[in-house]
Structure 1
Amino acid sequence: MKLFKSAALTAVLVLITSALMVPTQAQAHGVSMFPGSRTFLCWQDALRENGQILPYNPACASAVNQSGATPLYNWFAVLRSDGAGRTTGFIPDGQICSGGTGGPYDFSAYNAARTDWPTTHLTSGANIQMRHSNWAEHPGKFDYYITRNGWNPSSPLKWSDLERFGSVTNPPKSGGAGGLNYYYWNAQLPSGKSGRHIIFTHWIRSDSNENFYSCSDVVFDGGNGEVTGVGPGGSSPGPDPDPDPTDPPPTGDCTATWKATDTGWAGHFQGEVTVKNNGTGAINGWTVKWTYTGGQNFDGSPWNGVLSGQAPNVAVKNATYNGQLAPGASTTFGFNATGSVPNPAPSLTCTSP
């Protein structure tokens, strides 16, 4: 319970700080949370338990060095109060991810054409649940685009690089405004995609001219929503897609069990997962995965684990200090979550290298 209170207090203080830093002319806020936008995933990468912004990811660190930490405390505020649904001819090429330079914060550093931004791994043609922050709620539509085949990820993003693949108006939401709640809808990813791309989401309010802009870095490699490039060691490429047949086989056999440990908050709960080595040899690292089906999400970062796959397709890896488990040994990680407690409990899988 002590960990829960500490994590909850940190989250509340950070959210209050963020709210106090929002200018009065900006009344609605939100960027893509899945696939995670550059500002959202850089915020997740950089936010420490004491509320400081100290990125691990090199692209996020470069952006903070250029424009400071204030944009990440306001990760949800990539906006233009005069957007009015405009695209080409309004926001210049090369400034699409920041919504140009006319917003309340300087997000220009997040236009950088580089390949080490936090990345979501997807499968071409798959159906996914897209999620967009509803930090403040307003009616409107979401247009979403993807870069064309042949786009060069090392060149500045231009409007001619993008093709729209869907739109949704007034989608449902996971909970009330603020915090880490979101609008959500199902979308089919375009087929025939491979390698790195950007998914660009344009939120067009119907009750004002205010618009919001999100660039999400993705790679089509058969992934299921895993995120790399977030947190310490997060820039690793993930599991080897073509392992060497001479590599030694796994020496352990891990299992994972779930329980809800605190359900006292309406619309929130605390969860705990126990990872155990049931094998005959030691485990040197583990990953636990599950799928949420009721719109649940994380409220902050887990403790004693590293988030490597966003909801609804969750993946949590071991921390640097609890990945090695002797036969019969176990460890736990915990998290705060939004939404109702899953019923039935999700089915967990545990893998070890």
Structure 2
Amino acid sequence: MRRTRRLALLSALALALSTMAGIAIGNTPASAHGALMKPGSRTFFCWKDGLTPQGNLIPQNPACAAAAAASGTNPLYNWFSVLRSDGDGRTRGFIPDGQLCSGGNQTFDGWNLPRDDWPQTHLTAGSDFKWAYNAWAAHPGWFYLYVTKDTWSPTRALTWNDLEDQPFLSVDHPPLTGPVGSVDGQYNWAGKLPAGKIGKHIIYSVWKRSDSKETFYGCSDVTFDGGNGEVTGVGEPGTPTPVPGACNAEYKVSGTWSGGFQAEVVVRNPGTTALNGWTASWTPAAGQQVLSVWNGVRLSAGSLVAVRNADWNRVIQPGGQATFGLTGSSSGSNVPDGQVSCSSP
């Protein structure tokens, strides 16, 4: 009962704040509200991360705390209101570069911070996924989902050129379930995740109402590492946010022959907590092709080479390492075109 009353109080407060935000960004108050919940948007996860049993919002995740420091805590209560009342479904040329995650709405500028420690949803590229978009206030419309290109980096502000040109998934007026005006009110649909992706990316969502020009925008931070929707970086109320182990990788050529080579990649954990899963990825040099891999699992990753852990070397203790090997063919260089990156859940 206490939890029910607390959620009801938070809902009423958030709804009041969202109305004020709607008045601030347009000539008429916004009347539809929502945000992507699966995979969770920055706004939703940072609200969830900061929520305390007393109903206060004290972000524990470092990126969420930085967003609150930049924009205050009202955007946390107002997590479902990243909108433009004059949007009319517009994207490129309407929302300025560097402001995509706030929808060009200055109230939410903190969501645009270029950081690599936002809460993450761990996914498998190309797999089926059950999507959920909150319907704090329900209205009919369309949903468009974009994903970042392989060249995007989480350490720079998101621009339109960082996104693939076309949505990988579009949804026309999906069904609504649960009570509107609560976290449980959701639009739900099934659809495939983008194929050929590996490591950290942003899934960018656009919700265009069909009964007005109001349009919602949002960034969901994801890691394509073979996960099934697990979330990291969101702390439980009153407890510290778990910090995963660090991860880096080193590529070494161990043998060469005419038109071919053998190499090994050493994955290390220099952090203070154990790694529970890892993925190494790199861009092959021109004319280079990986033919076989052992002590790891080759993933489909478009233009990248990506290898995740095998079952027996999934966990790497602090200060420990795991090694996998590979053979390849080449017409020039036997080393990658750039550094080998490493990601972990």
Q: TM-score range by the shorter chain?
A: 0.5 to 0.7
Shift of 1:245: 9.2
Percent identity, aligned pairs only, is 50
Opposite residue 101 of structure 1, the aligned amino acid is: N
1:236 aligns with 2:244: yes
Q: Which runs of 5+ in 1 are unaligned?
A: 249-308, 310-353
The residue correspondences of 1:1-353 to structure 2 (distance < 5 A) are 5-23=1-19, 25-101=29-105, 106-163=107-164, 164-180=167-183, 181-231=185-235, 232-236=240-244, 239-241=276-278, 242=309
- Aligned-partner Cα distance in 2 for 1:247–1:219: 19
Shift of 1:156: 1.2
- Aligned-partner Cα distance in 1 for 2:30–2:126: 36
Shift of 1:155: 1.4
Shift of 1:157: 0.7
Greater share of helix residues, 1 or 2? 2
- Aligned-partner Cα distance in 1 for 2:315–2:130: 38
TM-score, with normalisation over the residues of structure 1?
Answer: 0.66
CA contact 1:57–1:235 (8 Å) conserved in 2: no
Q: 1:245 to 1:75 in 2, by over 3 A?
A: closer
TM-score, with normalisation over the residues of structure 2?
Answer: 0.67
Provide Cα deviations, 1:272-309, integer angstroms capped at 9, x if missing partner.
Answer: xxxxxxxxxxxxxxxxxxxxxxxxxxxxxxxxxxxxx9
Q: 1:245 to 1:12 in 2, by over 3 A?
A: closer
- Aligned-partner Cα distance in 2 for 1:137–1:246: 44
Runs of 4+ in 1 over 3 A off after TM superposition: 240-248
Instruction: Say which is worse superposed, 239-248 or 135-144, in terms of deviation.
Output: 239-248
Shift of 1:244: 5.7
CA contact 2:154–2:200 (8 Å) conserved in 1: yes
Instruction: Say which is worse superposed, 184-193 or 91-100, in terms of deviation.
Output: 184-193
Shift of 1:240: 3.6
For the aligned residues, what is the CA RMSD? 2.0
Opposite residue 184 of structure 1, the aligned amino acid is: N
Provide Cα deviations, 1:77-117, integer angstroms capped at 9, x if missing partner.
Answer: 00000001111111001000000036xxx111100111000
CA contact 1:81–1:211 (8 Å) conserved in 2: yes
Shift of 1:176: 3.0
- Aligned-partner Cα distance in 1 for 2:196–2:146: 15
Matched residues, number: 242
Shift of 1:213: 0.7
Provide Cα deviations, 1:245-276, integer angstroms capped at 9, x if missing partner.
Answer: 9989xxxxxxxxxxxxxxxxxxxxxxxxxxxx
SS at 2:16 equivalent: helix
CA contact 1:18–1:74 (8 Å) conserved in 2: yes
